[in-house]
Amino acid sequence: MRAAVAAEPGGPEVLSLTELPDPTPKAGEVLLAVAATAVNRADLLQRAGNYPPPPGASQVIGLECSGRIIALGDGVTGWQVGDEVCALLSGGGYAELVSVPAVQLMHIPDGLDLVSAAALPEVSCTVWSMVFDRAPAAELTVGERFLVHGGCSGIGTMAIQLAKAQGAQVFATAGTEQKVQACRDFGADVAINYRSADFVEVIAAETGGEGIDVILDTVGAKYLDRNLAALAVGGRLAVIGLVGGAVGELNLAALLAKRATIHAAGLRGRPLEQKAAIVAGTEAHVWPLIAAGTVRPVIDRVLPLADAAEAHRVVQASSHIGKVVLVTG
């Protein structure tokens, strides 16, 4: 099979199409002919040598895909050769073939094509598991206030739409006026350009000083104190990204006074049983919203897998809105 592989750690230019041995499905896995995959921020870290795959995962980059089942490993039930699916992966998506545990497969939501479906697994499973699921997730409920940083990231575009669909009042931050407008178009009630305004001040003014119930944070240390300042009493801060650093100072007195909770988690390294539960929960709760047209995948552009380097340049420049998809055909 052909795969877009980083010959050595480095910039986008190290990615090129390479011939690799075909994977074979182990017990409990299926082999997919990949139709499309999508770029995630973590892929850039892996390409640069800073985010090694978990033990046992493919060395090939790629955390999600869509495709058709072409072989079943021992013990797989409920799926047939020929089924069209999308999948959450621990790696291996930037390839013509990938082997994936059957519990990480999802049906293609009604009304969606295979290319669009490739943009869904990572962002919908991450947002579902961190924002909406039961504790230790943030359990955002109807009528609460929700803030996502990076509102035009792949994650942000899904988080805004899902929170709105669930009846929350939605706040989002972004770094350009074009992105701020796009956040509003996706459903944000309040979109804040973090380069020209302090989100804590805007939120205090917009909420009469009450603050935000749930924050989905992709920035980390740089925003820790300000996220805490923006939280309401009983608020929940869910940290999923660290573009602003990993080590910060936490004012425990402020956390205590607000009876607030901070929760951080990654999806990729979770045990199989947890991934299976997240995938099932996402399909049960998010897919109907997509089938109804209430929530849609936001795709910035579609490129051939051979142009994976160009896709990484686009994402690295943060000039995209939503997902960059790569197609094998």
Write down the least CB distance from residue 206 to ligand NAP, Å: 19
Contacts of 294 (CB under 8 A, 6+ apart): 161, 165
Task: Give 71-85 as a DSSP string.
Answer: EE-TT--S--TT-EE
- Locate tokens 């479906």: which residue? 117
Selected from 5, 15, 41, 215, the binder of ligand NAP by CB under 6 A is 41
**Distance (Å, whole) CA 103 – CA 123:** 17
Query: Do residues 95 and 60 touch, judged by C-beta distance below 8 A?
Result: yes
- Residue 318 binds ligand NAP, judged by CB under 6 A: yes
- Residue 20 binds ligand NAP, judged by CB under 6 A: no
For residue 232 the two structure tokens come to 């309401």
- Residue 122 binds ligand NAP, judged by CB under 6 A: yes
Selected from 6, 241, 275, 326, the binder of ligand NAP by CB under 6 A is 241
Selected from 174, 192, 230, 237, the binder of ligand NAP by CB under 6 A is 174
- Residue 150 binds ligand NAP, judged by CB under 6 A: yes
C-alpha 305: how far from chain center:
20
Cis bond before residue 23 (omega within 30° of 0): no
Task: Pick the closer one to ligand NAP by CB: 122 or 307.
Answer: 122
Query: Do residues 321 and 179 touch, judged by C-beta distance below 8 A?
Result: yes
Phi-psi sector, 303: left (phi>0), alpha (psi -120 to 50), beta: beta
- Residue 91 binds ligand NAP, judged by CB under 6 A: no
Query: Do residues 150 and 218 touch, judged by C-beta distance below 8 A?
Result: yes
Dihedral through CA 69, CA 71, CA 75, CA 76, nearest 10?
10
Task: Pick the closer one to ligand NAP by CB: 59 or 274.
Answer: 274
Task: Pick the closer one to ligand NAP by CB: 47 or 179.
Answer: 179
Task: Pick the closer one to ligand NAP by CB: 97 or 117.
Answer: 117
Q: Which stretch binds ligand NAP (CB under 6 A): 17-25, 81-89, 101-109, 238-246?
A: 238-246
Selected from 67, 93, 154, 297, the binder of ligand NAP by CB under 6 A is 154
Task: Pick the closer one to ligand NAP by CB: 29 or 122.
Answer: 122
- Residue 315 binds ligand NAP, judged by CB under 6 A: yes
Write down the least CB distance from residue 130 to ligand NAP, Å: 7
Residue 65, SS3 per DSSP: strand
Strand pairing class (231-239; 261-264): parallel
Q: Which residues bind ligand NAP (CB under 6 A)?
A: 40-42, 122, 126, 150, 152-155, 174-175, 179, 218, 240-241, 243, 266-267, 315, 318
